[in-house]
Amino acid sequence: MTDWARRAHPFTPGAVMLALVAAAVIAPAPNGSVIVYSVTIMLAIITGAGRGVWLGILVSAPLWLLLFVMHGILGEGPRAPFIGGGTLAVEGMRWAIGQGARLAAIVTASLAFATVFDPHRFLQAAIDRGWPWPLAFLVVATLDAAERFAGQARRLREAQRTRGLKVHGSLLTRARAIPALAFPLMLAALTEADEHTLALETRGLTRRGRRTALDPPADTPLDRLTRWIALLAVMLLLTWRISA
Amino acid sequence: MISLGTGNLRFSWPAQERWALDGITLQFAPGELTWLHGSLGAGTSTLLLALAGLAPRITGGTREGEVLLSRVDPTDSTPLDLGVGYLGPSPTLQLSGIARTVHDEIAVGPMNLGWPRQRILAAVADAMQRVGISALADRAPDLLSGGETQRVLLAALLAAEPQLLLLDEPFSALDRAGREQLSALLRELADSGLMVVVACDDADTMSLSANRLVVLEQGRVALDGPPAELLGGDGLMQTGASATDAATLAALAGWAEPRPLTAVAVLSECRPAPEPLQPEFRSGKDESPPNFETTTLSFSGVTFGYPGQPAVLRDLSLILAQGRSYALLGANGAGKSTLLRLAMALEHPSAGTIHTIGRPTVGLGPEDLAPTVGFLFQQPERQLFASSVRAEAALAPTLAGWDQRRTADAVAAVLEQLSLTALADEHPWDLPLPLRRLVALASVLVTSPKLLLLDEPTAALDGRSRDLVIAAVRSAAESGATVLAVTHDAIFAHEALDRAILVEAGTAIESGPLADTLESAGLSPTASLTVARELRVSDWISRRCEVAIMLSGIRHQRY
């Protein structure tokens, strides 16, 4: 199971991620949100996407701190004792925990999915299923654009360093280097995008018509079962919330 | 059967008043290998884009007149649907970005054509075998060298089984073996019935394979005929397009047309043999043993590999003496560019030590070596960042703390040296590729570095731009700079540099006088070197201008 998320059919981790995000939105706070966040952490760890949990904590921590200060310390209403002789707003803390867990579940599910997502396998799967090509390519091209942008930034920074621009060192030195990089980076990205568009056109990437998946990922019974369970779980949760 | 023709074709780029193509009427035939040639701005690349239907549909701009590809306007469809394979001049930008391996990259075209899987696999295997890259099948496309990328892209075109190949500078990043192999392959493809049109400035390579030469001048057809008839004539020289190395040598010697196209033909017309030049004619090529007591760059037992990849350099050792100029030779993927990156402290070895300008590179970055060390990247046109040519050239001196007067003088001098003065206020990104490369070189030369590290400084340059680079590099070397230049260009190496280091499989296997190392590196000797050797004059007198002086005394006679 430790690398199941990477080996699974690319649609399966996506379906699970969407189900967890939906559950985090639907489940009642704070208990429901905490349960969904716990399930998200557990699933990420046992399927080999544990890095997403740590990234999720890093991203969510400032938000948790803000919610704690705004609603726990500065909140109004009945108060309960807190360490050091201070007090916390009870309702504010319930709200902060509920919303904090909800947002953390969404962030963690998304990041866990991002760490195991393979755009090339996704593209093969999308072609195999006959998905609209522009939609499938848009997903991959967006991720590829980020990678290209990073590559262009690295090349420009290297070129500037070889001319003597200091981009390391104190915070001030680094801050001074940002404008020197930002504008040329945008210009280069736009120019290269033009040339890359031309290249993609010649390779048939905008051509209409059926394509062939060269190496489509296997869609196992476990994959299909997992996707159905994810869908069913969300439907049940939604039904319960509407009827409750 | 495919047919292709243009009728009074005119094209102008967006926001430009001048016609880049101005009334071109041409017919191309299957089985023909047509070579489009011309000086900078002649319009050869633009014509290829128009023939592919990419201009103006994708590029923008205005077109008048007609292009008919099998009786349809190619702008109404995609190149792949029309059986057109187009390869642009910047290899790394041509990668699809959707493939994890070279094999999958080559399969992109057939995959998009919707062929059955078995047919795709067979076509990919055949294309890789034809281009000689089967060993690269499992490599990541974005980690290939420039030459390897160019081969992969060519295989990708072939895998889609095109009827028409339109190639823009397909040899620019290839080593000699690669050029010869591709040249032969193009000839073979044309012989099998394909229509092949190549825009290229490499006259020596194309003269061997093309059966038709179309020379453009300012967007118009200036010459059209068999290469053997046109390359040695005055008409070609008047357009500014480059001739073969031997024809250029003969022209420099004042020989009248028709001039010989090869060194052998030059020799056959030397009757009687010329008198060797006296030593005072030596123009500075230094063949004396280098003095290694004053080293500028040293590698000692250096091993390096990129993360997750096999070692690129293995236990490599070399020493560069101060004031000498070296060509770094070797096949595509041998580790030459990586060696330069290590010397500039852009990378650091996993074992061994490197000293650049007497400093160990451990703990240093490139900014610590600039501007004493100048570094020109491969494809430097992608690494320009100022808003004008003048500002681009002024960046390094400004960062080095030079005062305004000194900076302005240095910038003016380097722009003059590379014939860029008239373009000083232009935005670098608005210039054509060869000029962008000259701007990048100017921004490196401006501080007169003690060590110049140049990665393919003449790749994809037209003849005139290459001559400017040769003169600039020679001038830097004669001023006492040490030069280390990665190159597959034998003429640049021979004309600008005096020693060579040969790298093979990540190790420096040979170092010595350039003339002796060219052939070990798989490069053909230049015409002037061949002539000088055959006439038994010293290798000291073997540069083009020196040999031309010798030949100028010989009356041109045909036997």
Question: Over its length of 559 residues, how does chain B's per-residue pLDDT go in tens digits?
Answer: 788 999 999 999 987 888 999 999 999 999 999 999 998 889 999 999 999 999 999 889 999 999 999 889 999 888 999 999 999 887 777 888 788 899 999 999 999 999 999 999 999 999 999 998 999 999 988 888 878 898 999 999 999 999 999 999 898 878 777 888 889 999 999 999 999 999 998 898 898 899 999 999 999 999 999 999 999 999 998 998 999 999 999 998 888 888 999 988 888 887 666 665 555 444 455 555 555 557 889 999 999 998 877 888 999 998 898 888 999 998 877 889 999 999 999 999 999 999 999 899 999 999 999 999 999 998 787 778 888 999 999 999 999 999 999 999 999 999 999 999 999 999 888 888 889 999 999 999 999 999 999 999 998 788 889 999 999 999 999 899 999 999 988 889 989 998 889 988 888 776 777 777 777 777 778 888 888 887 766 556 678 888 888 787 665 554 3
Using the Cβ of A205 and the Cβ atoms of chain B, whether some distance falls under 8 Å is answered with yes
Please report residues of A whose CB lies closer than 8 A to that of B460.
none
Six-digit token pair at B419? Answer: 């014939």
Q: Are the beta carbons of B367 and A200 separated by less than 8 Å?
A: no
Report the gap between the CA of A191 and the closest CA in chain B (Å).
8
Task: Tell me if residue A40 falls in helix, strand or coil.
Answer: helix
Q: Are the beta carbons of B58 and A137 separated by less than 8 Å?
A: no
Using the Cβ of A178 and the Cβ atoms of chain B, whether some distance falls under 8 Å is answered with no
Report the gap between the CA of A14 and the closest CA in chain B (Å).
19
Using the Cβ of A119 and the Cβ atoms of chain B, whether some distance falls under 8 Å is answered with yes
Nearest chain A residue to B157, by CA: A203
Cis peptide before A119 (omega within 30 of 0): no
- Beta strands B164-168 and B195-199, pairing class: parallel
Q: pLDDT of B339-362, one tens digit each?
A: 999 999 999 999 999 999 989 999
Q: What is the mean pLDDT of residues A98-122?
A: 92
β-bridge mates for residue B167, sequence order: B87, B198
pLDDT at B77: 87
Please report residues of A whose CB lies closer than 8 A to that of B386.
184
Nearest chain A residue to B400, by CA: A164
Q: Are the beta carbons of B78 and A206 separated by less than 8 Å?
A: yes
Contact indicator for B149, B92 with CB cutoff of 8 Å:
yes
Max CA pair span of chain A: 71
Angle between helices A90-116 and A50-67 (to 10 degrees): 150
Using the Cβ of B115 and the Cβ atoms of chain A, whether some distance falls under 8 Å is answered with yes
Gyration radius of chain A over CA positions: 23
Q: What is the mean pLDDT of residues A218-242?
A: 94
Nearest chain A residue to B166, by CA: A202
Report the gap between the CA of B196 and the closest CA in chain A (Å).
16
Facing residue for B117 by CB, picked from A164, A180, A214: A214
Chains A–B, number of C-beta pairs less than 8 Å apart: 159
Element (H, E) at B249: helix B245-252
Report the gap between the CA of A212 and the closest CA in chain B (Å).
5
Using the Cβ of B81 and the Cβ atoms of chain A, whether some distance falls under 8 Å is answered with yes
Buried b (16+ CB within 10 A) or exposed e, B158-196: bbbbbbbbbbbbbbbbbbbbbbbbbbebbbebbeeebbb
Among the residues of chain A, which ranges form H helices?
4-7, 11-26, 31-46, 50-67, 90-116, 119-128, 133-162, 171-202, 221-243
Using the Cβ of B335 and the Cβ atoms of chain A, whether some distance falls under 8 Å is answered with no
Please report residues of B whose CB lies closer than 8 A to that of A165.
367, 395, 399
Using the Cβ of A148 and the Cβ atoms of chain B, whether some distance falls under 8 Å is answered with yes
Gyration radius of chain B over CA positions: 24
Contact indicator for B531, B547 with CB cutoff of 8 Å:
yes
Please report residues of B whose CB lies closer than 8 A to that of A201.
54, 58, 78-79
Looking at residue B260, the DSSP 8-state letter turns out to be P
Contact indicator for B460, B378 with CB cutoff of 8 Å:
no
Residues found in chain A = 244
Please report residues of B whose CB lies closer than 8 A to that of A200.
96
Binding-face residues of B in 336-375 toward A, CB within 8 A: 344, 346, 365-367, 369-371, 374-375
Q: In B88-170, which ranges are E strands? A: 164-168
pLDDT at B288: 56
Which ipTM score applies to this complex?
A: 0.78
Using the Cβ of B75 and the Cβ atoms of chain A, whether some distance falls under 8 Å is answered with no
Using the Cβ of A18 and the Cβ atoms of chain B, whether some distance falls under 8 Å is answered with no
Contact indicator for B370, B448 with CB cutoff of 8 Å:
no
Element (H, E) at B227: helix B227-230
pLDDT at B281: 46
Using the Cβ of A66 and the Cβ atoms of chain B, whether some distance falls under 8 Å is answered with no
d(CA B59, CA B331) in angstroms, rounded, equals 35
Q: Are the beta carbons of B382 and A137 separated by less than 8 Å?
A: no
Q: Are the beta carbons of A198 and B111 separated by less than 8 Å?
A: no
Q: Are the beta carbons of B78 and A119 separated by less than 8 Å?
A: no
Q: Are the beta carbons of A127 and B111 separated by less than 8 Å?
A: yes
Facing residue for B112 by CB, picked from A168, A183, A205: A205
Question: Does the predicted model carry a pTM greater than 0.90?
Answer: no
Contact indicator for B397, B406 with CB cutoff of 8 Å:
yes
Q: Are the beta carbons of B93 and A119 separated by less than 8 Å?
A: no
